[in-house]
Structure 1
């Protein structure tokens, strides 16, 4: 089984060092804090399960980079799981909003995201998401330079959302 999980050195992306793996943890940390704050404000088990799936997906992806950087082994599952876990987690979070409609107010949410200075951070976060969507279509995820660009934007994006959430 271990042989099926590990690929030869030919599949190891070059330039994936410990500093990149550590940098990949930053957006996961910022999202985790944001999700924790929101989970306290919006008490929904479904929302919390979704948030945990998203955090797990990001953590496993960061773990993939740690394994590459430290062991020079490619464990494809750690990378590929993101395309299943992350969308599932976000879908559960959105479903929680519909299922638990009585626990939140659209008026209150709109007031929060449009209040100053939160609105500035949310607008910057949305811009970051758009840049990340562009990167997802254009950049090679196994290229170190592309990964650095993506992680820098992702870290700033998640920081903006976190600050938007905290400044209310």
Structure 2
């Protein structure tokens, strides 16, 4: 298995893509033709990026991180010789703290979803989060992440 797997909506997975390929698919997100891309790092979890919907003249995205402990993840950690990233299932959402959590937007992530405004980030924040994960194999520590309850 490759270290990285990029899966653009409606397309076959791309193994070990470079940053240019990842960025190309992320910038294709428009909330219509393409509304979700996942980037999985073996034994480290995956980012799910969705949206691209134009809301109030700005493309907005949702970025979620998923680390689900299952047999495949445990096998990958063993193969890589690394300790678990977390001691159990964890899901995080990237947020923009300058936005409200009371207002909601309709964003397409494979299907239409109502999300709090603060979970809808602009393109640059989305790209920064994904590029950091790709480069350092962990969540960007200077961005704001909240854990799903």
- Asked if TM exceeds 0.5, the reply is no
The normalised TM-score by structure 2 is 0.28
Structure with the higher fraction of residues in strand conformation: 2
Greater share of helix residues, 1 or 2? Answer: 1
Q: Quick check: which has more Rg, 1 or 2?
A: 1
* More contact order relative to length (CA 8 Å, sep ≥ 6): 1
TM-score by length of 1: 0.25
